[in-house]
Amino acid sequence: MTGGLGADVRLASALRPSSLLFGETTGRVIVSFRRESEPGIRAAAAELQVPLVAIGAVGGARLRISLGERELVDEDVLALRNLWKTAFERAIESAEVL
């Protein structure tokens, strides 16, 4: 997020969108790499018998995430970064005074 780059992510899963996006199950990792590194990454995964699925590409100014034909997220990265950076402050300011 600090780099200001967006991504276009296309997912395929039978999981609920909330579970897919926010679930904390073990065994899933997102790896970002340059396109020219893909053959080496695929070879390493195959050698280690680790499943590898390409889910998208990094770039642009928006974060787009879709599940099948359903769009789950389409937001400007700078707006998301600002929301993230100010979330705690906004939560404190909006909390009721006891």
pLDDT digits (tens, 9 = 90+) for 5-56: 999 999 999 989 998 888 887 778 889 999 999 999 999 999 999 999 999 9
DSSP 33-89: --GGGHHHHHHHHHHTT------EEE-SSEEEEEETTEEEEEEEHHHHHHHHHHHHH
**Res 27: pLDDT:** 79
Lowest mean pLDDT among 41-45, 69-73, 85-89: 85-89
Beta bridge pairs of residue 7: 58, 63
Q: Report yes or no: 65 and 75 within 8 Å, Cβ to Cβ.
A: no
Q: Report yes or no: 35 and 28 within 8 Å, Cβ to Cβ.
A: no
Q: What is the pTM of this model?
A: 0.81
Query: What is the Cα Rg of the chain in Å?
Result: 17
